[in-house]
């Protein structure tokens, strides 16, 4: 029997072939230095480069590594969710696979955990090697989220954090779709604290978050934690109504006084119509965002589908000590949505 890990590290992987060995090397060095038993849970989020082969080789080399293979790409937040579902440690650290979050910072996270904090998040004091656009939009995003949500979601903080087992269990019980995990962990409560670190450049490769995914992610965060966009329509409605009420006497007076200031009929109507329709369409869009997410919940599809799990099975270790990589018996496991 292998000992149960005290520390689990969860890393989502989407086409990170050149990074995997280095990630393992850096993590192993840091985690070994703690003297605690640990495991690394990598979630292969439908990679189509050589990531799978690299991870498979890792599992063969190091029994502390487990790989959850998705049936396709289900997205970063679902990959992290799967990692948390499969992690067994007392403390679980979520980390990006691309080494932008330095594994050495885990020691600081663990220190706070030992002091009794159950959520220790890592705040980016500086971001290196990212475009001004990414930095600017990220800054804006975190501040917007902070302002319009009711939950206190710390700014400049990604998913790089340590969660105590109690928090992980609470989080795993929340099977909502379109997940914004950093919001969910704030929502849960418990004793939380932050430490700061410098976010590094990617070790290799490109960001897997193109603008399209970033917008989607921001919308998930906003709709998941705020009603503000739904309520903001009332302001637009009040302003337009006020304008109309003011316009009536103005137009009437101009007419009665025989002034030669005229509102040219067609052009004015057209412009106002376009403007007002654009307002209306915008609020349709907002409504649509919420309705689509309700639909996601109602269908109760699983959050992800697992094709197979690669892990070293201690039971199948032969007398010679040759451990085998165990394929999951039932080939498709699903991340359930409903209550257990
Ligand atoms: N990732 C994933 N699925 C995706 C996109 C990204 O599992 O659909 C992983 C990716 O491999 C990385 C982490 O999520 O480990 C963060 O992605 P990335 O570094 O591309 O985002 P950025 O740091 O640029 O915001
Ligand atoms: Mg990154």
DSSP calls for 9-50: EEEEESS-GGGHHHHHHHHHHHHHTTTS-EEEEEEE-S--ST
Q: Whose CA is nearest to atom 8 of ligand 1?
A: 75
19 and 203 in contact (C-beta within 8 Å)? yes
Q: How far apart, in whole angstroms, are the C-alpha atoms of residue 255 and residue 257?
A: 6
3-state secondary structure of 179: coil
> pTM of the predicted model, to two decimals?
0.86
Residues with CB under 5 A from ligand 2 (ion): 96, 98, 100
Residue 54 lies in a domain: yes
Q: How far apart, in whole angstroms, are the C-alpha atoms of residue 114 and residue 24?
A: 24
Q: What's the gap in Å between 250 CA and the centre of ligand 1?
A: 57
Q: What's the gap in Å between 100 CA and the centre of ligand 2?
A: 6
Residue 171 lies in a domain: yes
Pair (167, 236) in one structural domain: no
336 and 330 in contact (C-beta within 8 Å)? no
Task: Identify which ligand lies nearest to the alpha carbon of 208.
Answer: 1
From the CB of 289, is ligand 1 less than 6 Å away?
no
CA within 13 Å, CB half, 80 = 24
Residue 221 lies in a domain: no
Q: What is the pLDDT along the chain (340 residues), one digit of tens a residue?
A: 457 889 999 999 999 999 999 999 999 999 999 999 999 999 999 999 999 999 999 999 999 999 999 999 999 999 999 999 999 999 999 999 999 999 999 999 999 999 999 999 999 888 887 788 888 888 888 888 888 888 888 888 889 999 999 999 999 999 999 999 999 999 999 999 999 999 888 888 888 888 889 889 989 999 999 999 998 889 888 998 898 899 888 888 887 887 776 666 777 788 888 888 888 999 999 999 999 999 999 999 999 999 999 998 765 544 433 344 544 434 456 666 644 4
Q: What's the gap in Å between 96 CA and the centre of ligand 1?
A: 7
From the CB of 16, is ligand 1 less than 6 Å away?
yes
Pair (232, 114) in one structural domain: no
Task: Identify which ligand lies nearest to the alpha carbon of 76.
Answer: 1
Q: How far apart, in whole angstroms, are the C-alpha atoms of residue 275 and residue 288?
A: 20
Pair (295, 306) in one structural domain: no
From the CB of 96, is ligand 1 less than 6 Å away?
yes
CA angle 100, 308, 220 (to 5 degrees): 50
| Helices 211-225, 265-299: inter-axial angle, 10-degree rounding | 80
Backbone angles phi, psi at 87, to 5 degrees: -75, 145
Which CATH number covers residue 33?
3.90.550.10
Pair (322, 201) in one structural domain: yes
**262 to 245, 258, 267, 285: CA distances (angstroms):** 18, 10, 12, 36
Pair (24, 153) in one structural domain: yes
Atom of ligand 1 nearest to the CA of 96: 15
Eight-class DSSP state of 182: H
Q: What's the gap in Å between 14 CA and the centre of ligand 1?
A: 6
287 and 230 in contact (C-beta within 8 Å)? yes
Pair (63, 162) in one structural domain: yes
Q: Whose CA is nearest to atom 19 of ligand 1?
A: 207
Q: What's the gap in Å between 244 CA and the centre of ligand 2?
A: 50
Pair (188, 291) in one structural domain: no
Residue 157 lies in a domain: yes
Which of 21, 23, 29, 22 has the alpha carbon at shortest distance from 10? 23
Pair (321, 287) in one structural domain: no
The number of folded domains in the chain is 2
From the CB of 12, is ligand 1 less than 6 Å away?
yes
312 and 242 in contact (C-beta within 8 Å)? no
Pair (92, 193) in one structural domain: yes
- Which of 24, 47, 98, 201 to probe ligand 1 with, by most ligand atoms within 8 A of CB? 98
Which residue segment(s) compose the domain that 78 sits in?
A: 7-208+302-337
From the CB of 159, is ligand 1 less than 6 Å away?
no
Residue 148 lies in a domain: yes
β-pairing verdict for 119-127 and 91-94: unpaired
Pair (49, 164) in one structural domain: yes
Task: Identify which ligand lies nearest to the alpha carbon of 211.
Answer: 1
**219 to 92, 180, 287, 301: CA distances (angstroms):** 27, 10, 12, 20
From the CB of 158, is ligand 1 less than 6 Å away?
no
Eight-class DSSP state of 319: T
Q: Could you report how far apart the first and last alpha carbons of the chain are, in Å?
A: 28
Length of the chain: 340
Residue 259 lies in a domain: yes
Q: How far apart, in whole angstroms, are the C-alpha atoms of residue 106 and residue 111?
A: 9
């Amino acid at each position: 029997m292998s000992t149960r890990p005290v520390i689990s590290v969860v890393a989502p992987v989407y086409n990170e072939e050149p990074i995997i060995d280095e990630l393992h090397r850096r993590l192993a060095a840091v985690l070994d230095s703690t003297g605690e038993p640990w495991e690394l849970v990598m979630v292969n989020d439908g990679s189509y480069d050589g990531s799978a082969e690299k991870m498979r080789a890792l599992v063969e080399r190091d029994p502390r590594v487990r790989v959850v293979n998705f049936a396709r790409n289900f997205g970063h937040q679902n990959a992290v969710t799967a990692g948390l579902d499969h992690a067994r440690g007392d403390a679980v650290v979520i980390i990006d696979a691309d080494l932008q979050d330095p594994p050495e910072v885990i020691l600081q996270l663990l220190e706070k955990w030992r002091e009794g904090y159950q959520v220790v998040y890592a705040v980016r004091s500086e971001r290196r090697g990212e475009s001004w656009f990414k930095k600017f939009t990220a800054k804006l995003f975190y501040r917007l989220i902070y302002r319009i949500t009711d939950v206190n979601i710390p700014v400049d903080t990604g998913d790089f954090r340590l969660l105590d087992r109690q928090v992980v269990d609470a989080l795993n019980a929340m099977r909502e779709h379109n997940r914004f995990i950093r919001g969910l962990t704030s929502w849960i409560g418990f004793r939380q604290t932050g430490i700061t670190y410098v976010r590094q450049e990617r070790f290799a490769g490109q960001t897997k978050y193109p603008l399209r995914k970033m917008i989607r992610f921001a919308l998930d965060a906003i709709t998941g934690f705020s009603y503000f966009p739904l309520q903001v329509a009332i302001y637009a409605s009040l302003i337009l109504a006020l304008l109309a009420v003011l316009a009536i006497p103005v137009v009437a007076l101009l007419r009665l006084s025989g002034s030669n200031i005229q509102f040219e009929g067609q052009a004015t109507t057209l412009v106002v119509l376009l403007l007002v329709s654009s307002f209306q369409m915008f609020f349709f869009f907002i409504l649509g965002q919420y309705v689509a997410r309700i639909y996601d919940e109602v269908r109760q599809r699983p959050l992800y589908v697992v094709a197979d799990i690669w892990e070293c099975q201690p039971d199948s270790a032969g007398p010679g000590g040759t451990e085998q990589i165990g394929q999951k018996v039932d080939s498709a496991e699903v991340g359930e949505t409903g209550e257990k």
